[in-house]
Structure 1
Amino acid sequence: MPCYFLSLFKIPASVAAKIERLQRDFLWSGVGEGKRDHLVSWDVVCKPKANGGLGFGKIALRNVALLGKWLWRYPREGSTLWHKVILSIYGSHSNGWDANTIVRWSHRCPWKAIAQVFQEFSKFTRFVVGDGERIRFWEDLWWGDQPLGSQYPRLFRVVTDKNIPISSILGSTHPFSWNFNFRRNLSDPEIEEFECLMRSLDCLHVSFSIPDARSWSLSSSGLFTVKSFFLALSHCSGSHPVFPTKCVWKSQVPFKVKSFVWLVAYKKENTNDLLQLRRPYKALSPDICKLCMRNGESVDHLFLHCPLTMGLWHRLFQLAKMDWVPPRSISDMLSINYNDFGLSERGIVLWQAACIALIWVVWRERNARIF
């Protein structure tokens, strides 16, 4: 699907599902190779590589990230024709920066799809105080980790104007004089909260010579990027288990080997125990490992606990003059950092390459004995 379309319209769930189905089939089956097993769930595949996935990303989240680009551009391109058109049709948001996000037009209207992203988008925007003319004192995120209205709810309930800009409260001289307008005299708890607010604002620095600005909290430059927004949305979509990301993806081995080790770390490689479950008619020798000819074949047994494989691990650690106790699983083995190989970049690269090479050699030997 063209990126331009993704950046203008919100994709219906049914369309996104069809696109993802095509991606899944292509990933596991390729082109013209017939139907194959989908070894890892699509939700895992879509996770960022840092969280154990392949970084494909869900189409719906990528669509949202691309739509967010227009929300970022809108207040920065006030003199452009498209900004003026949107403003004339929908009006301005109460914050003075964005277009009105309450759009009651047809679902085919592009800006309605963009406006629906505003709630997620606004979580990652911060305001940088300049002259204080455009930033709302209580409702915008400009001081601390939450808007001041959320940090000091008692005071927020009794202020007269909840949308008041900073410039209307802050005096022009330093030390600043604050012109708060409350509906009534403050109670004792409210006075304590007010004193806390004043202590917090003691270290505030304001530059009256420059206008207020909005920054993107997910990038060091403060500028919006689709990638950062997309990754943030992906991270927010669920918790992630611990995965040996560095050993798998940072290693200096061919990509096909990295992909293979990624499957091994998830215990999804087609060992005999999994073939018994997926396609029993394809299982070669039930409950037998072709290397030791004694135990059942599983990922942990084949690559870690098989006597032949364990001998290779012991030999590897003997060369490094290290004592070794086999961990419970191959994923634990890939996650452990063995300092005796050295903490330098060279030592880390050496360990990753040696570990992955051993796993790859065991798999090749296993297949050579079967086929």
Structure 2
Amino acid sequence: MDDLAWEFGCRVASLPTTYLGMPLGAPFKSVIVWDGVEECFRRRLAMWKRQYLSKGGRATLIRSTLSNLPIYLMSMLCLPSSVKRRLEKIQRDFLWGGGNLERKPHLVRWELVCLSKKKGGLGVKCLSILNKTLLAKWNWHFANEREALCKQVIRGKYGEDRGGWCSREVREAHGIGLWKGIRMDWELVSDRMVFIVGNGRRVRFWRDRWCGDSPLCVSFPSLFAFIVDKEAWVADIWDPLAEGAFNDWEVEEAERFLERLHGKRVLEDVEDMVSWTETKSGKFSVKFLYFALETGCSSLFPSSYIWNVNVQPKIRFFAWEATWGKTLTLDMVQKRGRVLANRCFMCLEKEETIDHLLLYCSRTRVLWDLLFTLFGVSCVLPSSVRETLLS
């Protein structure tokens, strides 16, 4: 083997190894595949002086660097839950200042941190949602690139379904590889695309969304009930209402049905296509699918008054913490199990909370009164920092 390698100018290696950034020789579900990503996380953190960075600076580095390190692998492989937890722990510890040798409180839930800024988060990417959106891109490629080698291989192994827009569901327990996990999330793509009818040979007349905002079987259930061939293609149905007579109460629905079809026609020399509903261009976008899958905040959040202000990142981060009421004031320390007296150190009159410190402390009120006097404003401050920013 060594002689042959020398002859061809190659070197001898062993599996598992890495080729073009992808692991070779290891099971795609193995956590070993992701060891390189975790090591890359730790190497990058070692280059940054955590003690000299504010929380705002750390959040910026997480968004711009750490969240992007695993993107290449996540666009090819399903992220194991154990790896996700480890990578998120590294990011959490870096953001809040803790680590293996020290414990610092994580003031805000990570699920909230991972929301977009408009929804009340820090804009850090949720790895599980990002992994789903990156893999969903392959379902879009399968639907659009009919002659691609990747599609031909998958089609040859699993077959096609729904007019060739997706593969058949993978039900085998063994030997199915990565595609099973990708195919399971086909609905993430299909629920957000509409069909543009050309020759009509790959679009189902009743079940696909090609004429209006919903499939015809949903918009006209009474008509759909007496249709014999419920899986018929658009090209096969020239007179969809010729299969039966209508009852009196169905005539109005039939009229609405014909109005819906008005102007639609089949073009024999044009292929059927799909369009993505989340973008104006009709092209698939990982970014827009991520925003669609991201959960929202149940209450209003004054994001523009925090992030669109020209101040230092650490001040914006503090304003974000204060808006959520998650700064480490004495009342929050008490909630974490510490037994201590709670008294505002500025006025020595009330308990220390973030709303008291920033709004109602007698020392703070002097500043508010001065500000109101300068601008000629008469105002009653709301009960919390969030309501103050919203008002």
In the superposition, the TM-score normalised over structure 1's length comes to 0.80
Aligned partners of 2:172 and 2:297: how far apart in 1? Answer: 35
Structure 2 residue 113 is the aligned partner of structure 1 residue 45 = yes
Aligned partners of 1:21 and 1:204: how far apart in 2? Answer: 54
Q: Contact 1:159 / 1:181 at 8 angstroms: preserved in 2? A: no
Structure 2 residue 155 is the aligned partner of structure 1 residue 87 = yes
Aligned partners of 1:84 and 1:310: how far apart in 2? Answer: 71
Q: Contact 2:162 / 2:202 at 8 angstroms: preserved in 1? A: no
Aligned partners of 1:194 and 1:123: how far apart in 2? Answer: 26
Structure 2 residue 269 is the aligned partner of structure 1 residue 219 = no
- Alignment partner, residue 317 of structure 1: 372
- Alignment partner, residue 386 of structure 2: 331
Structure 2 residue 62 is the aligned partner of structure 1 residue 4 = no
The secondary structure found in structure 2 opposite 1:280 is: coil
Aligned partners of 1:107 and 1:6: how far apart in 2? Answer: 21
Q: Residue 181 and residue 323 in structure 1: after superposition, are their counterparts in 2 closer, same or farther (change >3 A)?
A: same
> What is the CA distance between 1:169 and its match in structure 2?
2.4
Correspondence for 1:229 among 271, 276, 289: 289
Q: Contact 2:212 / 2:260 at 8 angstroms: preserved in 1? A: no
Q: CA RMSD in A?
A: 2.3
User: Which 5+ residue runs of structure 2 have no aligned equivalent?
Assistant: 1-36, 38-69
Q: Residue 186 and residue 10 in structure 1: after superposition, are their counterparts in 2 closer, same or farther (change >3 A)?
A: farther
Aligned partners of 2:101 and 2:222: how far apart in 1? Answer: 65
1:62-114 Cα distance to aligned partner (Å, 9 max, x none) = 11111110011112222221111011001111233122234425376111010
Structure 2 residue 338 is the aligned partner of structure 1 residue 280 = yes
User: Which 5+ residue runs of structure 1 have no aligned equivalent?
Assistant: 171-177, 337-371
In the superposition, the TM-score normalised over structure 2's length comes to 0.76
Aligned partners of 1:195 and 1:229: how far apart in 2? Answer: 36
Structure 2 residue 301 is the aligned partner of structure 1 residue 246 = no
Which amino acid is the alignment partner of residue 100 of structure 1? R
Q: Residue 168 and residue 255 in structure 1: after superposition, are their counterparts in 2 closer, same or farther (change >3 A)?
A: same
Aligned partners of 1:192 and 1:102: how far apart in 2? Answer: 43
Q: Contact 2:170 / 2:176 at 8 angstroms: preserved in 1? A: no
Q: Contact 1:169 / 1:180 at 8 angstroms: preserved in 2? A: no
Number of residue pairs matched by the alignment:
323
Aligned partners of 1:102 and 1:194: how far apart in 2? Answer: 39
Aligned partners of 2:82 and 2:222: how far apart in 1? Answer: 45
- Alignment partner, residue 210 of structure 2: 142
Q: Residue 279 and residue 107 in structure 1: after superposition, are their counterparts in 2 closer, same or farther (change >3 A)?
A: farther
- Alignment partner, residue 315 of structure 2: 257
Q: Contact 1:291 / 1:308 at 8 angstroms: preserved in 2? A: yes
> What is the CA distance between 1:128 and its match in structure 2?
2.2
- Alignment partner, residue 367 of structure 1: none
> Among the aligned pairs, what percent are the same residue?
34
> What is the CA distance between 1:209 and its match in structure 2?
5.7
Correspondence for 2:328 among 262, 270, 282: 270
1:181-232 Cα distance to aligned partner (Å, 9 max, x none) = 53x4333333332222112233547766643221111111111111111111
Correspondence for 2:165 among 79, 91, 97: 97
Q: Residue 272 and residue 108 in structure 1: after superposition, are their counterparts in 2 closer, same or farther (change >3 A)?
A: farther
The secondary structure found in structure 2 opposite 1:215 is: strand
